[in-house]
């Protein structure tokens, strides 16, 4: 079976790990903000992980173009349409999430606090009320969760129902 390139596989799994970290950090940061206990470090780490997700997403798209991708498996046309739709939506959301995060910084007190390096200026409880980018960012996280679940369900279908070895395409090659 044709596999994805080694670098695409590494970027795929690294992106997943960073998304989990960004989600956890963002959730923790939200709770800390609501309790007026957020720190500059919390914002900086979350922002850095989000930026890395954006860079990995762009590199994944570059590698797809440069290295190519394995052909679609013989599957019902409806499943191919769903798979392509989930793929395009995943990459769109993975691009828009960090962009909306930057927009939060530009349209809230968080950006001012980071530029001044003054934690006293960080948003406190309800500090993001009226910040549209914050609402968008939160909704994009929800959309991402749904898309990731669909992606995983598709992988499970191929692994355990159709048993066509699809999962092997996104694993590092073994040296025989």
Distance CA 95, CA 36 (A): 29
Task: Please report the pLDDT score of residue 176 as a whole number.
Answer: 47
pLDDT of residue 145: 97
Q: Give the span between the Cα atoms of 145 and 39, in whole angstroms.
A: 26
- Specify the pLDDT at position 1: 65
Whether this model's pTM surpasses 0.95? no
Q: Which residue has the tokens 């159709």?
A: 162
Listed as ranges, residues in the chain with pLDDT below 70 are: 1, 174-176
Question: Looking at residue 175, what is its pLDDT?
Answer: 54
């Amino acid at each position: 079976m044709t596999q994805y390139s080694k670098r695409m596989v590494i970027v795929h799994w690294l992106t997943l790990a960073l998304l989990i970290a960004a989600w956890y950090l963002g959730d923790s940061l939200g709770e800390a903000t609501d309790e007026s206990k957020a720190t500059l470090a919390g914002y900086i780490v979350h922002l850095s992980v989000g930026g890395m997700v954006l860079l990995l997403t762009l590199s994944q798209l570059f590698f797809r173009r440069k290295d190519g991708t394995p052909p679609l498996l013989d599957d019902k046309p409806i499943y191919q349409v769903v798979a392509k739709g989930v793929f395009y939506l995943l990459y769109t959301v993975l691009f828009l999430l960090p962009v909306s995060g930057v927009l939060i910084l530009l349209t809230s007190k968080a950006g001012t606090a980071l530029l001044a390096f003054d934690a006293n200026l960080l948003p406190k409880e309800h500090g993001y009320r009226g910040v549209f980018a914050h609402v968008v960012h939160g909704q994009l996280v929800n959309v991402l969760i749904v898309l990731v679940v669909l992606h995983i369900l598709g992988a499970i279908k191929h692994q355990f129902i159709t048993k066509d070895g699809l999962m092997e395409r996104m694993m590092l090659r073994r040296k025989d």
